[in-house]
A and B are shown apart, each in its own frame.
Chain A
């Protein structure tokens, strides 16, 4: 359903400025592809995930899908701890301002004991700034019930507390009123290309980082 909700993109929407004058571009482009590789949710099975991109007002997706929903995947005997989705992401943004750099918001769902679809985790990470291949592991979390009684009833009725909008996890405002519990990890790989960033004066790689893909990557806890 989320794929259907994706905004149809007219081909004519591709950056006019970028084409107009190669000499002095008025926008920069960030092309992202990659995949939501796998997740680790001990104790849960048959999970699927949704993703969407959250970006600032100065950003416009020019091609690709903003939202997506994956297949349901089950654990295997080969690696009982990981759930593999390998769900591709492919999107290109144009922007005039690095403020509001796009973030990918991932939310994982799966059936509970009674077979109700409940959320198993929310997480978000910024699209890497530097061109190259990056792998990110996001720690996921879910909102907590406000009381023990609520917890029980939500377990019983199968309606766990959910964020009104998964995009909440990509913004800082208002988070102070929530309580969450961390739950599982999702690994995403990104291949990032940028165009005209440097021309517009945005330097993303430091001088001593010749090969950004070699930078060791740990778990990014958000």
Chain B
């Protein structure tokens, strides 16, 4: 916008200046300069007699100053002016108006100034008078003005043009009679002046224009006026140019007016804005039918005469034919050159130029060469040089051509001798033309002498120039030398100690310049003679004129060898025809004519084409047929559509060349086509010829019966721009777009040989000069909405100030906070500032790390980092969201296969209410159309315990069942609310909420406090004791659509008041597989109603650094695998955090677990568990949460440990790498598990048993463990290979993990594709930060406080008492749990607690979690519902213990308990 404003302000100013210069300059100068101090003047309004010289000169002075000032101002303004072109027409019109107004003002100003002067001095013309003076037509020029005019000529160049027209009226009233008489007698002599009188001595008139020099166009002056002038001038001084004409400047009048006058027809409307009504004209497009429906213009006819075909090469050509064709071609060339005779032309020109120079130097009789001639001599000389060079080249060509003709003819002769037969009638005669030896020699010598002289002169010039240069250089060198020696002396005298230092400066010695050499005239002569020998006929040598005749006889076939006979027979079999195609449609074809032995085909057919379509193209197709069968298209020839002047009868026959790229090889004498052959015996000098030839044809417009040519109207003919014209029309030759491209324009100017001295081209030349010198540049930007500002309804500032606009804008740009903002208020005052507060806070806090929520600086940094990544990904996703595909909009059934059709027939016979119903797939709904309250989570459960499901703080519970193996079979519905009411895919993906499924035991306590009341009523208090929980993240449900299976219930290691049933199952071989089936399980089915479709991941092609071949192999492998087992995921490449595709095996590499863990327990199997536990302690964060919309991103183990967050694959990769680092055999399993869905597990081989590790929980399972959450195994990945499961089943229980069997496991790298040794993306070694115990303790305290506050907050209506004694007991107890990893201590613990808290009934349990942030901890405590107890005398205890592992991995234990005092 700044730009615009600057523009608006400046332009009128500058343009005004233009005008002050242009229209005012002429008249003003003329008026006041015209008062030349001649004694008399004839101007009527000028009372010259009373005019004082001083006054006149002062006014003139003033006007001049004014002019000067205006001009300099204009210049300044021009230089200040914005270099960018004015792109806006609207403005231009406005400007023009102001210009006009300004011009008028200036004119008035000048006028008034004049009149003021007049009033003051009373002897100057008024403005009107001055105006009349210039507009009147005067016929003759009084003598008195001449002198003045001449002087002015020198004074002011710009005014010259005007002077010629300044003539005064003849019959003036005040005219002195006597003067008039004299004038008449002396001046008005109308007789024509003979040229001889005008030229000095015997000099012939020269016509510069004929010599090719630019003269410009003379202004029109009537012949009589010219005569008068000439007569007048003749008697005075030299007024004439060399051509005998009076000296004149080119016509200053521009062809087109700069400013066309605009007249307004209507009142009140500015003429520029007036609209003109034009009746609509129907335009027929160029390629339409000529004949419109309404206006039949008569038939149009094109006559196409195809007379014949001559092959310049044909496959059946014998060697002789090839040579003959060559000779004929050369001869044609010779004839063409002879006709043009360039050599002669150039020689003549050279002579003429030399004469001209001679003339100029001699300079006629006066001995004083005219300045014009003087000036033109160097030009002539340059011209001479160029012409000479051209002539020499032409001469050389001529001679070469002659030589080649003779050579080819000799070849033919020798070939005929060799093969002993003749094939062609061609014969070459060389006619010798005797020349006069003496005159020839003389001319030759003269030529050489002239050339030598010129060259010598050239060299001399060069020498002079160089000498001049040498002199100046020498001068410089000498003065430098002097200075040097002076300096040296000085220094030596003044301070000798510094000498050494100073010497350094003098180090660089200047080289003394070398004087140039004078050219040797002998050398030059030798050069010239050598050249002449080479390219010119020697003097006295007869001139050779070749003549080609076709009078030879051809050897009859009987006398020829077999090869030749075959060839001749082959030729006889061949014939040719031509198809005529008009606008690419075949309209007719010639008869098929045999190819004659001399390879000519005569057709002589004329086709009359009556045309209705615009002729766009005319094409001939040449076909050749061999024998009876094959017809081949030899070539296509395009014929230009004739110009309208070419009519039948007058059209010349033209030969159009064609050539074909077909390759023909023949088994006889024919040389073939596209086949290389040689004339030499040794086979060198190979040549390859293609079938080619000429079609002689003529195309013309027919002439109708009455002699009317049948040509479509000219107006619509837009094709025939003569090429010559293009040279003069810049726009036609470079196109309109070229006009903006200055370089192109400059190039065109050079090519078109634009005369830079022609003032007509001055503007253009200046523009080019300026443009190419880089002073003014074309802007390198392109403005799209250049008129935007005009259409802005409010200014930008106002727009930004308005809260309403801001709100609307933010909503429109889909900023998260405002995306779903409903009802933007209409009035500014109704929008509170608070609306933007959150948003602004977020913007500000983007870089501020908030440690409040995280309690840990490192995690805060990481969270911040993740937040940023998330934002950028979401933005990308938002863009992708607006991209629809058909299935987003239209529901269309897929094409059913026959199988499905068959099945649907079977369905008819299906029982309506089957005994074991299966869940049907439901119709999917795109999330975009949903609104709040539409979606519910449905659970159905399959223990006197009851289950409570909480989601988003909404709680639902089942009825209470009885016994340790309860059955509920109930359906619970929980509403779901998307954040900000946004049900778009990316928003749903980033929902972090979890579904808590808690199992409680309902305990009834006798609440009767007074025994007396017993019997009259039942007073029981229901208490609930938390038994365990299952957590399922919402995203898992969202992506899985349904979750169906049996889950292990997360039971706290200590459940006060409960004991576990010991499962004495079958002892298994490996102790790490022990107590597997221990624990409680729950069967669930969870789904979302309606079903939501998880968003398609944004498919993008990711960058990669992998080898292209490897990627191809990977794609092939994946395709092969999925074609066999479409449901099994085959993973070969993954995307790293930088968004690059990486081959998966690069992630697997043995890595060192923290030394601390290895040292902790000596037993190796337990170490493995500890490591798994460590990995599981790293918080789980699904990628879909952090990087919504983009598929899985795999971070390397060091990145994972830094971010301390990741999903299954990061955990699995780290665990697998640790196991490898510990020397175990380990693989990554890509498979499917419940509840997480597609996931990654770790497989280890321990003592010939396969163990499956869940990296996210740290649990491990035997292969045959039925409760293993891993359901399907798709592929295994090690550090150097990938194996795809090719077995029928994919459940771990039913498959073999023996990867050595290729039938069961298809490996990626094999013998055919060996492992190339891919470098791992993992670091060499993991470096761990030591755990910060102090920080952990501090964090521990803070979390405890936060949780206590929360519990009190959740019990707003009750008093929450904290039992300190109990808390400290629990606190001491928690580290014990951590040590034992939560196992095998319950009995002791319980006993001890029992002992310590003797008279309390304690119900509570420890919760164990990995630490990421506080919120999940709060949620977990809340979900247990400990706070819900509402016994009046209840007390609480809460203890937190944080154990810090290396790399700041924190294990959090929270012990919550409620205590009720026993009485």
Residues of A within 8 A of B (CB): 24, 26-27, 57-60, 95-97, 143, 145-146, 149-150, 153-154, 157, 159, 161-165, 167-168, 173-178, 200
Contact = CB atoms under 8 A, between A and B. Distances in A.
**Best-buried of B811, B824, B825, B892 by chain A (most CB within 10 Å):** B892
Interface string B920-939: 00000010010000000000
Contact of B821 (A24, A57, A173): A57
5 contacts: A57-B821, A58-B822, A96-B824, A96-B825, A161-B891
B562 to A, nearest CB: 64
Nearest to A96: B826
**Best-buried of A161, A167, A176 by chain B (most CB within 10 Å):** A161
Contacts of A143: 889-890, 892
B884 A173 contact: yes
B1119 to A, nearest CB: 25
Contact of A153 (B827, B891, B896): B896
Query: Which 4 residue pairs spanning A and B have beta carbons closest together?
Result: A174-B884, A161-B892, A96-B826, A159-B893
A96 B822 CA distance: 10
B889 A164 contact: yes
A164 B890 contact: yes
A162 B896 CA distance: 17
B892 A26 contact: no
B1104 interface: no
B1124 interface: no
A178 B820 contact: no
Contacts of B808: 97
Nearest to A174: B884
Contact of A200 (B826, B886, B891): B826
A122 B891 CA distance: 14
B826 A154 contact: no
A151 B824 CA distance: 45
B823 A154 contact: no
Contact of A146 (B821, B822, B830, B886): B886
A200 B827 CA distance: 9
A174 B896 CA distance: 27
A116 to B, nearest CB: 12
Given A173-B882, A177-B884, A163 B891 contact: yes
B1298 interface: no
B905 interface: no
Contacts of B884: 173-174, 176-177
Given A153-B896, A164-B929, A165-B929, A175 B822 contact: no
A89 B376 CA distance: 96
Contacts of A167: 929
A138 to B, nearest CB: 19
B908 interface: no
B903 interface: no
Nearest to B819: A57
Interface residues of B, number: 25
Interface in B1118-1170: none
Given A24-B827, A59-B823, A168-B889, 11 more contacts: A27-B823, A60-B822, A96-B825, A96-B826, A97-B826, A143-B892, A150-B892, A161-B892, A173-B882, A177-B885, A178-B886
B892 A57 contact: no
Interface of B: 808, 811, 820-827, 830, 882, 884-886, 888-893, 895-896, 926, 929
B830 A26 contact: yes
A173 B884 CA distance: 8
A81 B891 CA distance: 30
A126 B445 CA distance: 100
Nearest to B929: A165
Given A159-B893, A162-B890, A27 B826 contact: yes
B892 A146 contact: yes
B809 to A, nearest CB: 12
Given A153-B896, A164-B926, A178 B823 contact: no
A174 B892 CA distance: 16
A162 B886 CA distance: 11
A26 B826 contact: yes
Nearest to B821: A57
Contact of A175 (B825, B889, B893, B926): B889
B379 to A, nearest CB: 67
Contacts of B891: 161-164
**Best-buried of B820, B824, B890 by chain A (most CB within 10 Å):** B890
Nearest to A142: B890
Given A57-B811, A153-B896, A157-B896, A174 B824 contact: no
Contacts of B892: 143, 145-146, 150, 154, 161-162
Contacts of B888: 164, 174, 177
A97 B824 contact: yes
Contacts of A165: 929
Contacts of A57: 811, 820-824
A153 B892 CA distance: 10
A174 B893 contact: no
Nearest to A99: B808
A33 to B, nearest CB: 23
A163 B890 contact: yes
A154 B893 CA distance: 7
A153 B820 contact: no
Contacts of B929: 164-165, 167
**Best-buried of B822, B882, B926 by chain A (most CB within 10 Å):** B822
Nearest to A164: B891
A26 B889 contact: no
A154 B892 CA distance: 8
Contacts of B882: 173-174
Given A173-B884, A174-B884, A58 B893 contact: no
A174 B808 CA distance: 23
Contacts of A153: 893, 895-896
A206 to B, nearest CB: 19
A159 B888 CA distance: 17
A150 B895 contact: yes
Nearest to A60: B823
B889 A163 contact: yes
Contact of A96 (B823, B889, B926): B823
Contacts of B823: 27, 57-60, 95-96
Contacts of B896: 153, 157
Contacts of A154: 892-893
A178 B886 CA distance: 6
Nearest to A158: B893
B826 A177 contact: no
Contacts of B822: 57-58, 60
B826 to A, nearest CB: 4
A24 B822 CA distance: 21
A161 B826 contact: no
Contact of B825 (A26, A60, A168): A26
A88 B888 CA distance: 32
A20 B263 CA distance: 61
A149 B926 contact: no
Nearest to B825: A96
Contacts of A95: 823
A88 B820 CA distance: 31
Nearest to A5: B934
A66 B820 CA distance: 20
Contacts of A177: 884-886, 888-889
Contacts of A146: 886, 892
A95 B895 CA distance: 45
B830 to A, nearest CB: 6
Contacts of B821: 57
Contacts of B820: 57
Nearest to B884: A174
A109 to B, nearest CB: 14
A160 to B, nearest CB: 8
A121 to B, nearest CB: 14
A157 B893 contact: yes
Contact of A58 (B824, B886, B889): B824
A157 B821 CA distance: 43
A143 B888 CA distance: 13
